[in-house]
Chain A
Amino acid sequence: MMESIRCDAMPIEVLLVEDSPGDVRLTQEAFKDAKVHINLHVASDGARAMAFLNREGEHANAPRPDLVLLDLNLPKKDGREVLQEIKESSTLKSIPVVILTTSSSEADILKSYRLHANCYITKPVGLEGFLTVVKSIDNFWLSVVKLPHEVSS
């Protein structure tokens, strides 16, 4: 399932890798109030996410994302593998990857950072908490932080 939400000028491309439609919708809801124009692309499993990033098949014209929001527990290809592949790829490794998952296990946190995740966020249980987290991502990663602008090949 792929969706693209086109906004106006200078859009920021975000790839959300998430298998739960409920979470996808909540994220979309949360980004509705974002300060910047965001193109939110969604990949529902790890394999699709890699295809999007590598512009394979139907994703031949996909934009290079400025930020990846990655869940860890995914069908087909695990989030950890996706993270590893991104960080091992010379062209993709400069893209910041934010791990957004329900897991709060120490092992997952440690492993993610060892694979060079840029930050690790546990999904809060309540709605307010979730909205706050997405707003924080919007605020920090999409407004405060300077992202690299690499020319797509």
Chain B
Amino acid sequence: METVEKQVSIALATIGAVILIVVWLAYSEGRAAVDALTWVSHTHEVVADLEGILADVADARLNAGRFVRTGLQSDLPEYQSSRAQIRGRLSRVRQLTSDNPRQQGRLIPLDQAVAEQLSLQESGISAGSQARPEAALQFLRSDAALESMQAIRKIIADMTAEEKTLLRQREGESEVTRSRASVTLACLGAVVLLLLVLISYILTQDIRTRKWANEALRRSAFEFHDLYDKTPCGYFSLDFQGAFLQINATLLAWLGYRREDIVQILEFRCLLTPESAQRFETVFARFTKQGRIEELSLDMLRKGGSVMPILLTAEAIRDSSGHYISCRSTVSDITERKKSEEHLLKTVKELKRSNDELQQFAYVASHDLQEPLRMVASYTQLLAKRYKGRLDSDADEFIAYAVDGSNRMQGLIQDLLAYSRAGTNAKALHEISSENALKEALTNLRATIEESGAVVTHDPLPAITMDDMQLAQVFQNLVGNAIKYRGAEAPHVHVSAAKNGGNECIFSVRDNGMGIDPQYSERIFILFQRLHGQKEFKGTGIGLAICKKIVERLGGRIWVESQREKGSTFYFAVPERNGE
């Protein structure tokens, strides 16, 4: 727009300048016309005076001659008046042609010739007065008189011609000037016309551009307003007192109000629960100074009085001197989020409670079951001890089954207790040597190892962050199993470890035992799940379940890769915690 204004002002300035030139030209044209008229009348004056001189000289000669012939005194006054006029005319001509040296030059011989002529006439008149007419006529008709008369005629003719030539010249000059001025004027007129056309073009273009821009502005304002109104987020603005200046349709719909119920009528705090209103007061006072509210959690009141939890974010708008004018605020309805958060919290609490209960249950059940079981076991054993062979053979057999059953149940309860404790009473985790943990496990297994003739080897094992007792237990269970479920050859167990991408440490316990059918590779980790009867291998099916529990409590995992008759490799991965 600025350039358009600039262009138009330049064009207008040019037009002004052109008009000034035109005025000046017209003025000088007028001056030239006046000058031309002056010159014409001047020439006429000079010519008239020159012709007057000639006529007067001729008149004076005529009157002098008449007086000589008649001798009448009455002819003298006319002669005298002609003489007098001649002087006046000569001096006027001198004056009028004072700017023309050529004419001035001609005036000198004219003066002389006129003086000669007049002096001869004077001599003739004085001779006529003395009644000597022949002498008088001699003076008047002398050669000198005739020559001077001719000289006068010639000079006057020259001068008149000069004046007329000058007049023509001047008239020609002013004609040229006039026509040149007309051309200039026409050109200037054309320039002005062009400039006017240019201005009107620029203005038309400008108006068109403005119209288009206005249209675009109107469209974008409409789009913006539509977006403002319908976006799935509440928008509003407040004045410095906290009264509504603006509110969008989404927020209105959430609250159940009409725009006219709120804008310029209500203050924001009126739509809050008393507690939230109080909080908002404090925050708003600070906000008008600091200029920003970030995710303030408030409870708004819908039209019916129901509560809508929201998050409010606002930004202050200030004038150029930094005074608060209004604020732009966004509101998100967090009813659903709050609900799901509460639900989640409740579920977590519930889960934790049920988990604690389960833990407590397992512990209490196994612990409290011990007491009566101990009685059953002790007294059946006492029976067996005191009365074996003293009752009949059936009684011995029955007692034997009772003793065996109670023994196995004791084993199960012991294991259940161990399982429920596994991983729960871990010490604070710190970096330990996994090699030392393996040594501890092998010490505990010394009898088994010696008895079976097993060979247990290992690679250098890393330091990891874990409870050393628990790691030793995992090693003990895995190495113990490897020896227990041996193959045809003497057992050979190898323990190694590898880091996996820097965030996990994977241990492996490889054996040359009987192997596990892959279809059971998940099942063996479940509590009390066994693949063999008591007669083949004693046990309750607790060892791997405990390993799994310990490893998974640390966020790790455990699995097996095996082939029947070839041996198994148990792996467990423990996340690295970097001394956490």
Interface residues of A (CB under 8 A from B): 20, 22-23, 26, 29, 102-103, 106, 123, 125-128, 130
Beyond A20-B375, A22-B375, is A125–B382 a contact (Cβ under 8 Å)? no
Residue from A22, A106, A125 in contact with B379 in the complex, judged by beta carbons closer than 8 Å: A22
Residue-wise, chain B 359-371 has the 8 Å CB interface mask toward A (1 for contact) of 0000000010011
- In the complex, the answer to whether A29 meets B414 with C-beta atoms within 8 Å is no
Query: Whole-angstrom distance from the CB of B452 to the nearest CB of chain A?
Result: 26
In the assembled complex, the Cα of A106 lies from the Cα of B414 at a distance in Å of 16
Q: Which 7 A-B pairs have the closest CB atoms?
A: A127-B381, A22-B375, A127-B378, A125-B410, A127-B382, A125-B374, A102-B370
In the assembled complex, the Cα of A22 lies from the Cα of B371 at a distance in Å of 10
Neighbouring A residues of B414 by C-beta, 8 Å: 125
- In the complex, the answer to whether A22 meets B378 with C-beta atoms within 8 Å is yes
In the assembled complex, the Cα of A126 lies from the Cα of B374 at a distance in Å of 7
- In the complex, the answer to whether A126 meets B381 with C-beta atoms within 8 Å is yes
Q: Is B385 part of the contact surface with A, judged by Cβ < 8 Å?
A: yes
- In the complex, the answer to whether A130 meets B378 with C-beta atoms within 8 Å is yes
- In the complex, the answer to whether A127 meets B385 with C-beta atoms within 8 Å is yes
Query: Whole-angstrom distance from the CB of B426 to the nearest CB of chain A?
Result: 13
Neighbouring A residues of B370 by C-beta, 8 Å: 102, 125
Interface residues of B (CB under 8 A from A): 367, 370-371, 373-375, 377-379, 381-382, 385, 407, 410, 414, 425
Neighbouring A residues of B377 by C-beta, 8 Å: 125-127
Neighbouring B residues of A130 by C-beta, 8 Å: 378
- In the complex, the answer to whether B382 meets A29 with C-beta atoms within 8 Å is yes
15 contacts between A and B (CB under 8 A): A20-B371, A20-B375, A22-B379, A23-B375, A102-B370, A102-B371, A102-B374, A103-B367, A123-B374, A125-B373, A125-B410, A126-B407, A126-B410, A128-B381, A130-B378
Neighbouring A residues of B373 by C-beta, 8 Å: 125
Query: Whole-angstrom distance from the CB of A148 to the nearest CB of chain B?
Result: 33
In the assembled complex, the Cα of A123 lies from the Cα of B374 at a distance in Å of 9
Query: Whole-angstrom distance from the CB of B172 to the nearest CB of chain A?
Result: 140
Neighbouring B residues of A123 by C-beta, 8 Å: 374
In the assembled complex, the Cα of A126 lies from the Cα of B373 at a distance in Å of 10
Query: Whole-angstrom distance from the CB of A5 to the nearest CB of chain B?
Result: 19
Neighbouring A residues of B425 by C-beta, 8 Å: 106
Neighbouring A residues of B382 by C-beta, 8 Å: 26, 29, 127
Neighbouring A residues of B379 by C-beta, 8 Å: 22, 127
Neighbouring B residues of A127 by C-beta, 8 Å: 377-379, 381-382, 385
Neighbouring B residues of A103 by C-beta, 8 Å: 367
Query: Whole-angstrom distance from the CB of A38 to the nearest CB of chain B?
Result: 20
Neighbouring B residues of A23 by C-beta, 8 Å: 375
In the assembled complex, the Cα of A128 lies from the Cα of B370 at a distance in Å of 16
In the assembled complex, the Cα of A93 lies from the Cα of B379 at a distance in Å of 35
Give 15 new A-B contacts, CB below 8 A, not counting A125-B373, A127-B379: A20-B371, A22-B375, A22-B379, A26-B378, A29-B382, A102-B367, A125-B374, A125-B377, A125-B410, A126-B377, A126-B378, A126-B381, A127-B377, A127-B378, A127-B385
B386, closest chain A residue (CB): A29
A127, closest chain B residue (CB): B381
Query: Whole-angstrom distance from the CB of B208 to the nearest CB of chain A?
Result: 92
Neighbouring B residues of A125 by C-beta, 8 Å: 370, 373-374, 377, 410, 414
Neighbouring B residues of A106 by C-beta, 8 Å: 425
In the assembled complex, the Cα of A113 lies from the Cα of B51 at a distance in Å of 168
In the assembled complex, the Cα of A106 lies from the Cα of B373 at a distance in Å of 22
In the assembled complex, the Cα of A29 lies from the Cα of B385 at a distance in Å of 13
In the assembled complex, the Cα of A82 lies from the Cα of B202 at a distance in Å of 111
